[in-house]
Amino acid sequence: LVCEGWTIALFGGLEDITLQPNESRTVEIGFQAPDEYNGAVDIRLRVFANGAQVRMQTIDVGASIDWQRNGTVQLLNDPCQSLLPGTSCGAQISVENTGNAVDSFSFEVVQSPEFVDVELMTSPAEIGPYSMTEIDLLTITANTSAYAFETGDVVVNIKLLNTNTIIGSVRVPVKIAPVIQWIFTDVVEDIDGQGRLSIAMTLRNEGNTPDGLLVQLQ
């Protein structure tokens, strides 16, 4: 029997099987759902003995589609622990659809440090039931003015598409690496009337961390 996309079958209902007094047997009803996320079907089963249709018994049975939506997420790499100013790193994740139907998942950045720019690299992903996929999630770029040893986390929520249901979050730690760079300018040499040599210069710290110099006279 096919009804509104559902296929219903009767197993063990053979009419040529004779039951003796006080004997019983089991009849099974099978339902095959259509390829849809929602729906239900109800049928009525009629049971009667040949020649005694007036003693007919009926029972109503039904089935409904149970769409289970869920998933898991895991961070696959940790590439941003030594990020130089002006450079970028990328994070990868794996997402598994633990539901029982094809489903789509969306991604949202909910937290990021002020010293980086974050760009999502993916659009909503469609994943089959009980399947897993690896995704290039985002790119993190350190600001050129980021100070050394600044730390923070970029947090991304993974949701069921078109819902507020969060199946998991990934936290990507970020740490700015130090840059040591000095510039020496305006070097001036002078010998006074007594033959004493004086040397003056301007030093500029072009690095991204407080630094110092050891000056030696030889």
Digit-coded pLDDT (tens) for 125-162: 999 999 999 999 999 999 999 999 999 999 999 999 98
Per the listing, tokens 């109503």 go with 60
pTM of the model: 0.76
Check pLDDT > 90 for residue 54: no
Which pLDDT does position 209 carry in this prediction?
A: 93
Residues 88 and 204: their CA atoms lie apart, in Å, by 26
Residue 199 bridge partners (DSSP)? 189
Residue 4 has pLDDT above 90, yes or no: no
Terminal-to-terminal C-alpha distance of the chain: 102
Q: What is the pLDDT of residue 124?
A: 92
> Where is 167: in which H helix or E strand?
strand 166-175
The count of other CB atoms within 10 Å of the CB of residue 106 is: 16
Sign (positive or negative) of CA dihedral 71, 166, 79, 126: positive
More confident residue, 36 or 174: 174
């909910």: which residue's tokens?
110
- Give the pLDDT of residue 164: 92
- The pLDDT of residue 82 is 95
Among residues 74, 65, 72, the alpha carbon closest in space to that of 130 is found at 72
Residue 15 has pLDDT above 80, yes or no: no
pLDDT tens-place string over residues 80-104: 999 999 999 999 999 999 999 999 9
Distances (CA, A) of 20 to 23, 25, 26, 204: 5, 11, 14, 105
pLDDT at residue 184 greater than cutoff 80: yes
